[in-house]
Amino acid sequence: MSLTVARVEPSIAGVGDYIELMKPRVMSLVVFTALVGLVVAPGHVHPVIGMTALLCIAVGAGAAGALNMAYDADIDALMTRTANRPIPRGRITAGEAAGFGMTLAAFSVVTLGLLVNLVAAVMLGFTILFYVVIYTMWLKRSTPQNIVIGGAAGALPPMIGWAAATGGIAVEPVLLFLIIFCWTPPHFWALSLYRTEDYARAGVPMLPVVAGDRETRRHILIYTLLLAPLGVTPWLLGYAGPTYGLAAAAVGAVMIVLALRLRAERNGDAASKQMFAFSILYLFMLFAMLLVDRMPGLAFGHLAL
Amino acid sequence: MTTVSNPVDDFTKRFMGDPLPPIGVKLTEQQRRARRARSIAIALALGAFVIVIFLVTIVRLGGNVLTRPM
């Protein structure tokens, strides 16, 4: 019997590589939406408990990002957008990323459970599991509906924020979940329209790869038509003031105009790039307005005129 | 200047030929710097974790933090 021992070179990975592994841009959106869920929830949360909850959610999101990169290293190496990530670049091994991700996941969920509450911890654990197992390992490589169903993971943070503040779930955070859930497809399909070759090379069945540009543009319009009115519902149901309602209607209208232009465009990537960029601003505006709405004296809805 | 011979090396030379090369991995300067940076980051993260636990304990227990059954 022979024993083969693989010689592993000592790591040259710096702190920056590990931070990159946590997908800091995705993490910032997760933290922001979770903060909104936490702030709009009824009752008072001690700032230290609130900050702890956000820290755990941020670390949990980073863990999910690291585990995603560990599993997807093979296809990341084939796509221009992701070829520069730490694993394809040879800075970190997939095993190191997996270990890092699992450690962070365990720490974030257990800490959230012990220091904040169990409901929020269970939801954070479910979100990480959903993103890594359901989206990354299963859906991403098997169906063009990957980002539609997988989008649930990205939509959960405001519900976790709400649960951290209240210990439960209500209609309002479910609305916030639905807004992000309907926002994800137009956002990612707009990106995949001008990255189709990348996804095709990696064998990822994104909608433009499987069904073509025309069908993707139609799908983007359908989801945008669902999203725009959904964005206004927090005001219609009385959860937010008129400032929010007006802003949501305005940015929703811009989203529809961009989706219509994208549908009409025959050649070039200008409209899809514009749609992708504005979709980020759209979600940011919506959640920022919800925050403003909850701060007395800042929103018109709360001014004693 | 006198040189002190290493009895282990002497023994190895006499009975087993030349001494064995040093065991272990020799880090390059880049690897050493990367490891140091990672170690500092882990230390800072653990320090932050301890501070978070401390602060939440104080917030949760408030004035009762010193009250315990004797």
Asked whether the predicted pLDDT for residue A130 surpasses 60, the reply is yes
Chain A contact present for B34, CB below 8 A: yes
Lowest mean pLDDT among A133-147, A214-228, B18-32, B52-66: B18-32
The set of residues, in sequence order, having a beta carbon less than 8 Å from that of A132 and lying 6+ positions away, is A64, A67, A68, A71, A101
**For the residues A194-213, what does the mean pLDDT come to?**
94
Question: Is the model more confident about A56 or about B2?
Answer: A56
**Cα dihedral angle (A110, A103, A68, A139), rounded to 10 degrees?**
-50
Cα A121 from Cα A50, distance rounded (Å): 14
Residue B63: pLDDT band (50, 70, 90) is confident
pLDDT tens digits along A38-71: 999 998 899 999 999 999 999 999 999 999 999 9
pLDDT 10s digits, A173-190: 999 999 999 999 999 999
Q: Does residue A176 contact residue A33 with C-beta atoms inside 8 Å?
A: yes
Between chains, do A18 and B56 touch, taking CB under 8 Å as contact?
no
pLDDT at A201: 94
Q: What is the 3-state secondary structure (H, E, C) of A67-121?
A: HHHHHCHHHHCCCCCCCCCCCCCCCCCHHHHHHHHHHHHHHHHHHHHHHCCHHHH
Q: Which two tokens stand for residue A139?
A: 């859906």
pLDDT at B3 over 70: no
**Is a pLDDT exceeding 70 seen at residue B4?**
no
**Each residue of A242-269: pLDDT tens digit?**
999 999 999 999 999 999 999 998 767 8
- Name A258's Cβ contacts closer than 8 Å, sequence gap at least 6: A224, A271, A274, A275, A278
Q: State the pLDDT at residue B19.
A: 62
Tell me, what's the pLDDT at A208? 94
> Which of A15, A19, A91, A93 is most worth mutating to test chain B (most B CB atoms within 10 A of its CB)?
A15
Q: Which residues of B are less than 8 Å from A13 in CB distance?
A: 34, 38
Q: Pick the residue with more confidence: B40 or B24? A: B40
Q: Which residues of A touch B31 (CB under 8 A)?
A: 10-12
B41 in A contact zone (CB under 8 Å): yes
As a whole number of angstroms, the longest Cα–Cα distance in chain A is 86
pLDDT band of residue A296 (cuts 50, 70, 90) is low
Q: What is the mean pLDDT of residues A114-137?
A: 97
Q: Please report how many Cα atoms fall inside a 13 Å half-sphere around the Cα of residue A131, on the Cβ side.
A: 27
- pLDDT value for A1: 47
pLDDT band at A300; cut points 50, 70, 90:
very low
Name the pTM for this structure. Answer: 0.87
Q: Does B52 touch chain A (CB under 8 A)?
A: yes
Tell me the two tokens of residue A220: 């983007």
Which residues in chain A are closer than 8 Å to B40, comparing Cβ atoms? 15
The pLDDT assigned to B7 comes to 74
What does the mean pLDDT of chain A come to?
A: 92
| C-alpha closest to that of A184 among A162, A205, A155, A204 | A155
Mean local confidence (pLDDT), A30-40: 96
